[in-house]
Structures are given as C-alpha cells and as structure tokens.
A and B are shown apart, each in its own frame.
Chain A
Amino acid sequence: MDKSNRPFFSNLKCRECGKLYEKKAIHVCEYDFGPLEAAYDYDAIRTSISRAAIESRPQTMWRYRELLPIDGEPTVGAQVGFTPLVKADRLAAKLGIKSLYIKNDTVNYPTLSFKDRVVSVALSRACELGFKVVACASTGNLANSVAANAAAAGLKSYVLIPADLEQGKVLGSLVYGTNVIGIHGPYDQVNRLCSEIAGKYGWGFVNVNLRPYYAEGSKTMGFEICEQLGWRIPRHTVAPMASGSLLTKIHKAYNEFVKVGIVEDAKFSVHGAQATGCAPIAHAMQRGTDIVKPVPKPDTIAKSLAIGTPADGYYAIHAMRQTGGGAEDVTDDEIVDGIKLLAEHAGIFAETAGGVTVACAKKLIASGKIPRDEEAVLCITGHGLKTQEAIAGKCGELRLIKPSLRDFEEQIYNPDMAATA
C-alpha cells in the first residue's frame, strides 16, 4: 500500500476484454473465458518505489513486492530469487556475440528451478485467501516446488502427475511428504480432471484458480535482470517457452519498470526458444500467424517444455512480434549440444530446457536476428541434475587406470609430450 493506503495490487483483469474482477481465487473472465491477470495502480507505485528502496531490501525476489500480487508480506518462499546474472565471455566468444549474460536460475532456492518464483507468489496469496490445501499438476519442476514450499509453510499439498512419469521425478516430490497422485490417460483428459478438481473442492490449485497470482512470479526474473545490469533493460532476452508464460511476464516486467520510472525506456527484444518435438509457438511465429496449432503428441527430451496446447502462446507471439523478437526450435541433438556448450564455456549445468535456450540463441545469433555486435541475456531455468538421463553417454567417457604412475603417464598425461604439444 502507498501512504494514503491505496493498494498497489488493485484488481484482476481480463486479458481479452479488460473487465475488472475482485482479487479472489478466480482465473477466467465470466464473459469471454479470457484469462485473468493481476492489475496494479502504477501511479501509486511510481510515487512509492525507488531504486534506493529496492536496494535496501534483502536480496530475494520479494524486493520488488510493490509489483507482485499479494496484499501483505510474503509468507511462503521468502528466500526465493535473486539468482546470479553471470557475464559469460567464453560462451559469448563461442556463439560469436559481443556480450552475453546467463540469468542462472539453476541455483534458485529451494528446488533449483525458476518455478520457485511462481510457487512462492501463488502460495503466499493462497495463505492470504485462506486456503489450507494447495495442489498442482506437473511433470517435474512445478511439482517439486509446490511440494517443498508447501511443506515449509505447513500447507497440505497434492501433486497430480501423469501415471507414467519416471520414478526419479516422483521421488523429488514424495520426499517432502506431499500426496502424489498418478493419473492414467492422455494429457487433455488429465487437464480436464484437474480443472474439475480445482473447481469442486476449493483447493488452491497453483496453475488453475491461482494462476493470475502464480504467473506474476515470473516477472521477478525480468526485474532482477534489469537491476543486475545496473538498472537497465537488456537489448535482447532469450527465454524458453512451454506455456509461453515466462516470456510474456519478462516482457511485462520490462514494461512495468519503465512505467514506474525505475529504468529508462529503451528498445528491447524478447525471443522464444522451443524444442522441435513440441514447438507450437515457435512454428506459429515462423508461419507468420498468431494461431497456435496444438501438438497432439510432444516428442522431445525437453519434457519441461513439452506443452502441446500452450495457454499463453498467443500472448507470447504478440510480445515477440511487438518487440521485434524471433522464435527458434531445436532438435534433441542440438539440445544436448546446448547443455554441453553452457557447461563447458560457462560452468553451468542446466536441464534440457537450458539446452534449448542456448541452442536457439546460437541459431538466433547465426541468422542475424540477434546481431553479433549487441548483447543478449539467456534465461536458464532449471538445474541439470534434474534431467541427467538426457545426457547420459553423451559427455565423454570415464578413463580407468591402475594405481601406478607409469599407467598414468602412458594413458593420461605424459609431461614430455605435453611440453612439446
């Protein structure tokens, strides 16, 4: 709230018709079924927020709390965010661009993916709205984050997953004491069941009835990028696209920072990255349309991006077009190369979605969509330990020797030969 007690976060608003709604656990417009999103009183925020005020706060994503959709102080995930922005000069040289930064959410707290940002907002709002049970439907990172953050906050949680999900990913949620429910059937039927459950039992479903709050958490990645660059918007930003939400929220974050006077208005472009085996948004961009054709059976190792019917695809396309951005897609082999490029040139081990982002950035630079004499920020959203199976056997081999110096010098390292090499 500002000094006159006006709330900064004012309403929910339909993204299609603009109709305003109260700040409840609702997510679609009653009239046109358009998605609702958080709306703010930017005039009130402008008079209250400043760079100095932000800098004086703890280094977490909540330092931008005026632009986040909760009424009071955060109660869940108070430590989340403010991950490193790494200047990656060796990777820049490899990709042939003047300046390159990695926004490194592989080390986001507590579950090593950017999902902790959205979940901490959703669950903080769930507590304000009085929910005692929270839930989500997920194939991995989101499930882990809901389970962990709910456990820390003492909320009961349910995690719904497709019945055929790998055991490793199930364990990453079970360990927090959450209820993990496997559902048989194709994804569209599972989707319908989840929205029925959310409507029927009054649970706080983070990506259904809490979605307007949840999605706003992604903006903090954009806010942090601006602050860490010295309070300015980067010329190019490349983000992975699953539902397309992250890209649209980074776009919103940059525009909001301009609107409230935190950064100067500057030309920027947002670019999207997808895997070829599930690229409905990138393909619509490449076809020059804003109608996203669903992918009935996604087939890619980048499972965290494998959403065949992306809810924010239309809005992501408009954000990319409006800013002069582009979209690329990459094969599974290119994804593995992207993971290795990032690891070998920046020392960062990313999950498959990170490989998608790096490999697509490589293409965007090679095609001139991102000019070589400009700068880019790559959004790396999850840790490689989560998808180790994707690169197993593709990163060189273990070399075995006996415990003898002769073996070592014959097979591994010969100082005489090394000196002449």
Chain B
Amino acid sequence: MNMTDKHRLWLMFPTKLITRPIIWELGKKFEVITNIRQCSVNEEIGLVSLELEGDRDEVKRSIAWLEEQGVKVEPVEINTIEG
C-alpha cells in the first residue's frame, strides 16, 4: 500500500497567476485533497495556507506542478533556515 502524506503549505501566487483557479486545476489534475485554511489576496500577490493530502508521490508531483506554474511553495513554517 502506498504511503499517505499530509502537508501544510504556504502558497504565494505572483500577480499574473492571481486570477487563475490553480487550486481547482490541482484537484482535477492530481489525486490530492486540497483544504484551504486561510488566504489573503490583493492586486499584487495571493497568499494561501493549504493542507494537501494524498499518496506521497502524488503530493510531490502536485507540488512540482504548482512550482512549474510559477507558484512559490513553502511549508507553513516558511523560513526554517535561519541565519
């Protein structure tokens, strides 16, 4: 049986992607459960806290696809690397 993963992510949408329904596309394209917990959008940037659940490889592929589209994907902790 495949391993299931649950990731808590912080997505940052650049201006050009703000109006595109990317999270809907993600759910259509991949076998993952998307669960939005918080969001904030203005004319410059879109920020979304998202729980992403599914088979580990499928989650990995879906994150890679988000990044290919131009969405910045961080863990909710964001900067785990510090000075």
Contact = CB atoms under 8 A, between A and B. Distances in A.
Contacts of B38: 16, 32-34
B34 interface: no
A162 B81 contact: yes
Given A32-B49, A191-B78, A309-B74, A303 B44 contact: no
A192 B45 contact: no
Contacts of B7: 192
Nearest to B67: A188
A178 B81 CA distance: 17
Contact of B72 (A27, A137, A196, A296): A296
A192 B73 contact: yes
Closest 5 CB pairs of A and B: A304-B83, A195-B75, A194-B80, A33-B49, A311-B78
Given A142-B83, A188-B73, 16 more contacts: A33-B38, A34-B38, A137-B80, A162-B81, A188-B74, A191-B81, A205-B80, A207-B77, A207-B79, A242-B83, A243-B82, A291-B45, A307-B82, A309-B12, A309-B72, A309-B79
A208 B77 contact: yes
26 contacts: A16-B38, A27-B77, A28-B8, A34-B38, A136-B82, A137-B80, A137-B82, A139-B83, A140-B83, A190-B80, A191-B74, A191-B81, A192-B63, A192-B73, A194-B77, A194-B80, A198-B80, A205-B80, A207-B82, A208-B80, A242-B79, A243-B79, A291-B45, A307-B83, A309-B10, A311-B79
Interface residues of A, number: 45
Main secondary structure of the interface of B (DSSP, over half): strand
Interface residues of B, number: 26
B17 interface: no
A194 B76 contact: no
B77 A187 contact: no
Contacts, number: 108
A302 to B, nearest CB: 9
Interface in A291-322: 291, 293-294, 296, 303-307, 309-311
Nearest to A190: B81
B29 interface: no
Contacts of B49: 32-33
Contacts of A242: 79, 82-83
